[in-house]
Amino acid sequence: MTSVAAPGHPNEDFTGAVPDAAVLIDGAGIPGAESVCRHGVVWYAHRLGGALLSRLSDGREQSLAALLADAIEQVTDSHRGSCDVADPISPSATVALLRCRDGLVEHLVLGDSVVVLDRVAGAPLVSADRREVIISGAYQSILEGITPGSDEYHRVLAELRANRNQPGGFWLAKDDPRAAYEAVTGGLPVTELTGAVLLSNGASRIVDRFGLTDWPGLVALLGSSGAAGVIQRVRQAEARHEVPADDATITYCTELDRC
């Protein structure tokens, strides 16, 4: 596991593992969030990650979506009395989960984190939730034609955020446990896999934004250079293309046949 903050900023990502499961959380920060939640995005991401690891370690016979719903509810309840948890700019996060159980490797993706399952035969299976990317892209051209900070700019941003955790929109972990049941989920027999990778969108951009490699190439690169080497290449690409750096986190799981 490797997690590197964007330079000059606190790391809003979280990752952790127990013997048969792994968790990756990518906290989402929106300017002004401190006015509605005194805890902040880092706190939310770590609390949600910790709640998930606790549930994954105690052998609960629940689906990954049900575990995530319980964790969202627990974290929301822990600051409902002091923060405006329902405000659109209160802390939220994307989630990637992996669990090995009864010979099956299960995964869950909510938001723009990514899970890559490296198969014994054939190309890796990539599990991604593209809804936020698609919807945000539709607003990007509009925002580019508006003066940043203007009333119209804030109106369009509010319209974009109104798509969050709504039917036909995109889904994140925030204050509504029902969002967990909108996640992308799946599973494969452990005998069909050689490894698995969880990535925050700040790390997956080596493939899906910069195109420095493809998903099979990413798995090979992890084997040769490790997660730190992959993130270093992301940082170099960000500098070369003058793209603002993002927190980048990778959890690389191997020897899945032990689970």
Cα dihedral across residues 175, 180, 184, 189: positive or negative: positive
Question: Which regions of 56-200 does DSSP assign to beta strands (E)?
Answer: 92-101, 104-110, 114-119, 125-128, 184-189, 193-199
Summarize pLDDT for 116-172 with one digit per residue, the tens: 999 999 999 999 998 888 888 888 878 888 888 888 888 888 888 888 888 999 999
Q: How many CB atoms lie within 10 A of CB 176?
A: 20
pLDDT the model gives residue 234: 98
Count of CA atoms in the C-beta half-sphere (13 A) of 235? 14
**Reduced to 3 states, what is the DSSP secondary structure of residue 101?**
strand
Total-model pTM: 0.93
Percent of the chain with pLDDT over 70: 99
Q: How confident is the model at residue 255 (pLDDT cuts 50, 70, 90)?
A: confident
Bridge partners (DSSP) listed for residue 254: 195
Which tokens go with 138? 């539709």
Mean pLDDT of the chain: 92
